[in-house]
Amino acid sequence: MSWSKLKQQLESFLSPALKGRFEYTSTSYRYLPDKAGICYISVDKRNILNMRDTTTLIRWYQTDLEIKNDSDIQIPIKNDDIEAVRQDTKGTVPEDRLIVIARSRKISEYAKEILSAQSSLCKSNFNVVATKYLSTSIEDSLESNDILLNILALVDRRVGKKRILNMRETMKLKHPIVQYFYELRLNTL
């Protein structure tokens, strides 16, 4: 599908509150095959998400250690997680250490997911994911681990106020760029 057609379809699903503020842009270099071009999403004329660019306003993580040491990340620990640690250690670890171990495991899993999601962002991937988004349901896009699918679904007019408000807890586990677009949409309600 051509970029102009894809952009037109994406903009047709854009929330009315974001029209005029939100823009998809893609450039290509026809005569330079080694340059893939850039693709970005801008809000209020500011580039918020540049595919594969670490100069954006949103924090991009380079290592899993950065994610583990980020104090802004709040990972909820459930009783099931603590029980899994208790089973693995065969009950030899004190109770207060079980929570620390469970949190460490959850953050390690979260860090791997975040780095994997970040590594897949590029211009060609944007076109593929945007085409996929147009053919999948909103629920699947919101529940996906793909950053772009989450962003496209959050700015969609088919996601209503009640659903946006009910997603507050699940958004805490998403990448900071997805949280940014969630807050943007929350502020337009």
| Per-residue pLDDT tens over the stretch 18-53 | 999 999 887 766 665 555 567 788 999 888 887 654
For residue 183, what pLDDT is reported? Answer: 94
Please indicate, yes or no, whether residues 112 and 137 belong to a single structural domain of this protein: no
| pLDDT at residue 135, rounded to an integer | 94
Give the residue among 79, 80, 71, 75 at the shortest CA–CA distance from 103: 75
In angstroms, the CA 91 to CA 78 distance is: 18
pLDDT recorded at residue 160: 92
Q: Looking at the structure, tell me whether residues 144 and 176 fall in a common domain.
A: yes
34, part of any domain: yes
Q: Give which of 125, 134, 124, 129 is closest to 8, Cα–Cα.
A: 134
What confidence score (pLDDT) does residue 53 get? 47
Number of structural domains found in the chain: 2
If 0-12 CB within 10 Å is exposed, 13-18 middle and 19+ buried, where does residue 169 land?
exposed
8 belongs to a structural domain = yes
Low-confidence ranges of the chain (pLDDT < 50): 53-57
**Distance between CA atoms of residues 29 and 17, nearest Å:** 33
What range defines the domain where residue 37 resides?
3-52+121-187
Strands 46-50 and 38-43: antiparallel
What was the pLDDT predicted at 72? Answer: 77
pLDDT for residue 177? 87
Is residue 102 in a domain? yes
Reported as half-sphere exposure (CB side, CA atoms, 13 A), residue 128 has a value of 8
The pLDDT of residue 31 is 61
Question: Is 145 within a domain?
Answer: yes
**183 in the same domain as 142:** yes
Exposure letters 97-129 (e unless 16+ CB within 10 A, then b): ebeebbbebbbeebbeebbebbebbebebbbeb
